Amino acid sequence: MSIVINTPTSNIGRALASRLLDAGESVTLLSREKKKVDELARRGARVVEGSFEDPALLAKALEGAEALFWLTPPPARPDYYAWATKCAKQAAAAAKKAGVRRAVVLSSAGAHTGPGTGPVGPGREMENDFEAALPAVVSLRPGIFMENFLRSAETIAKSGQIFLPIPPGKRWPVVATADIADKAACWLLDRSWSGHHRVGVHGPKDLSTDEAAAIISSELGKPVKCVELTPDQARGAMQSMGMPGFVVDIIIEMYVAYIEGRLDAAEPRTPNTTTPTSLAEFARTTLVPAIRANL
């Protein structure tokens, strides 16, 4: 009996696979390119090469599986909402047919809002589809990824600034992807639970952009400031970088949802939703080296 991971090359999927293998679990990886997961294969993971969009390959990966970890990749096509929900519905049905009883679904803080929230939009429908198909489902709803600050490594290095269309005084949960993988592993390794659960994953504390910039500044040893952009300014910046128009539209929709409060976490912060990695630790080990590589 194996645990299937549909995105083993993502930050979360790869870390999760490693943790499950460390625990002695049988792991099946559904990967577009086998060579990208060679290290995990050498450690004993079974690899089914191909796309999780392919029903035949999905069925093959789920043969003899006891559990599924499902993560939808970031937007890469104009019909992202329809594509993401279609893939999740197909996966839920395939898991049910294969006799899978448990699934851990990566959703997001704000998923309760539904459409109109950019890449978060499909989350609520995906949660519902898995819950309709399987008796035991946990939907993880993490806050803002600390890894998102890596996108600003170059501007921090060159100007000491982070540009975001987010109000400076508002606080959000900020979490490291490694902690999300750990949380998923805990649920997958625990075979005692049942029912449907929607669980916040909130990092150690909520942070504003100004507080985040101060933490990064302290770890870097030089001033870092977060500069608030308007959505139109952010749109122009992304367009000037050559980002596809549909990607820009989806990201701006998400930022507007942040500004309007529609992506505020529905789950209260509790000891269970609080995870250990601080932004200071992440900055010290991951972000600051990336910034210095751009100096």
Give pLDDT tens digits for 74-123. 999 999 999 999 999 999 999 999 999 999 999 999 999 999 999 999 99
pLDDT at residue 38 tops 90: yes
Q: What is the pLDDT of residues 124-152, one digit of tens each?
A: 999 999 999 999 999 999 999 999 999 99
- Full residue range of the structural domain in which residue 29 is found: 2-145+174-201
109 within a domain of the structure (yes/no): yes
**Confidence tier at 242 by pLDDT (50, 70, 90):** very high
Residue at 168 is within a domain: no
Token pair for 238: 């992304």
- Dihedral in degrees, nearest 10, Cα atoms 251, 256, 259, 261: -100
218 lies in a domain? Answer: no
Does residue 253 fall inside a structural domain?
no
Residues 145, 177 contacting (CB under 8 angstroms): yes
Residue 107 falls inside a structural domain: yes
Question: What is the count of structural domains for the chain?
Answer: 1
Given pLDDT bands bounded at 50, 70 and 90, which one contains residue 166?
very high
Is there a domain that residue 209 lies in? no
- In Å, what is the CA distance from 289 to each residue of 9, 19, 153, 219, 285? 22, 25, 9, 11, 7
244 in a structural domain: no
Per residue in 177-194, pLDDT tens? 999 999 999 999 999 999
| Nearest alpha-carbon partner for 3 in 19, 18, 20 | 20
Mean pLDDT (the chain) is 97
Question: What pLDDT was estimated at residue 140?
Answer: 98
How many degrees, rounded to 5, is the angle at CA 212 between CA 217 and CA 239?
A: 95
Cα–Cα dist 189/194, whole Å: 13
> What mean pLDDT do residues 212-233 have?
97
Here the CATH number for the domain that contains residue 141 is 3.40.50.720
